[in-house]
Amino acid sequence: MAKKIVSDELWSIVEPLLPPPTPRPRGGRPPISNRAALTGILFVLRSGIPWEMLP
């Protein structure tokens, strides 16, 4: 199994710093989780690949 990019320890530090999600009265696509977004950001920073090459 691959090592997690965002460990539970790191997430417990970062999560309280993020603002609460705002309601979306007009609907639209549901947002991805903050943890998934942070994982994507850290993946690009660690691997050096451009955003366009993300799976």
User: What digits encode the pLDDT tens for the residues 35-47?
Assistant: 999 998 888 888 8
Residue with tokens 């989780």: 33
Residue 54 pLDDT class (50, 70, 90 cuts)? low
10: alpha, beta or left? (left if phi > 0; alpha if psi -120 to 50): alpha
Count of helix runs (H) and strand runs (E) in the chain: 2, 0
pLDDT reading at 25 higher than 80 = yes
Q: pTM to 2 decimals? A: 0.74
Asked whether the CA dihedral 23, 27, 28, 33 is positive or negative, the reply is positive
Average pLDDT, the chain: 85
